[in-house]
Amino acid sequence: MNDFTMPVVTDLTDVDLQQRVQHLIDQKTKPLGSLGQIESLAVRIASILGTDAPQLHQPQMLVCAADHGLAARGVSAFPSDVTWQMVENFLAGGAAVSVLARQHGIALTVVDCGVARDLVPRPGLVDCKVAYGTADALEGPAMSAHQCQQAMRNGMRVVQGLPGNVLMLGEMGIGNTSSAALLLARLCHLDIADCTGAGTGLDAAGVERKIAILRQVLERHDSAQSPLEALAAFGGFEIATLVGAVWQAALERRVILVDGFITTAAVLVAAKCAPHVLQRCLFAHRSGERGHALMLAALKATPLLDLGLRLGEGSGAALAWPLLRSAELILSQMASFEAAGVSQSNTQHA
């Protein structure tokens, strides 16, 4: 990875701005702190966008899709063909994330990062195919260093071409919970058994087989210790593309709304390389996939929702989007005590 230039993501900390926004919220017609996490969410959004009057506009859902060579080992309950079939479903408007994006006015872009099939070009589909799926990580690195860099650059380039100031992260790739579990285990120094779940629906015996395979993969790539070395070793193309997307969105001070286990794995890699990206990230939910809670804890992230979701696609991010809009509108449209002619509590008035 020596020829890859790491983005310089700056510290956004602005205590004066945070205090100013909190003061505006405290003057709204409500008891102090009574809107709970919505208040802290408003402060976070204002901090990311660098203004006490933030306006969210043209939210973008980026669904990155790719196949995984390790899937041939039986680490998923579904065959690899489901990856390209679900990409078709996204584009036809029939997937959960398609429905939710339509409901909330979110622009949906699907990126072919490495699907093991040629896809027909059409609006809404971006071709960034690095290869027809990653290699089997049990036999060698899932990606070469060059392929990993190419995927990250692709992610940066795609985000550069998107409008708006909100980026939602989604993904599709049969076998990608294995990559996420491997990245969590390696980068956070955890046992792979604690990081590995049922994915698309493995039974208990299937999970045990998956853990055994992933343990072998970790041993096979014992020397891949840095974030980008681990990413290349374990895959996948969609995760690497999302890493680049996160970096670019962070550079542009977009609000980054993270979905579940896989997209959080991309943020984990991005943050290990450039810690200040976390200042731009809001975490939509705590996934039902085992390992996600550990990943959120490692990132010191507080999820907005906890609904037992484990679909992926960006579905949780789409469901959390109205909370961001509510926080924005509370800050901009809710009346102050003075403007509404409402008496404050003695504590607030003091």
By annotation, the residues acting in catalysis are 313
3 state SS of 107: strand
The SS3 of residue 54 is coil
- Degrees (nearest 5) of the Cα angle 210, 216, 220? 140
Question: For residue 65, what are the CA distances in angstroms to 29, 221, 255, 311?
Answer: 45, 24, 22, 14
- Are the CB atoms for 293 and 197 separated by under 8 Å? no
How far is CA 340 from its chain centroid? Answer: 40
Q: Is 65 in contact with 235 (CB distance < 8 Å)?
A: no
What tokens were used for 154? 């692709």
Angle between helices 227-234 and 176-188 (to 10 degrees): 150
In the sheet that holds 60-66, the strands lie side by side as 125-127, 107-114, 60-66, 166-172, 255-258, 281-283
Please name the residue that has the structure tokens 């980054």: 256
The count of other CB atoms within 10 Å of the CB of residue 208 is: 13
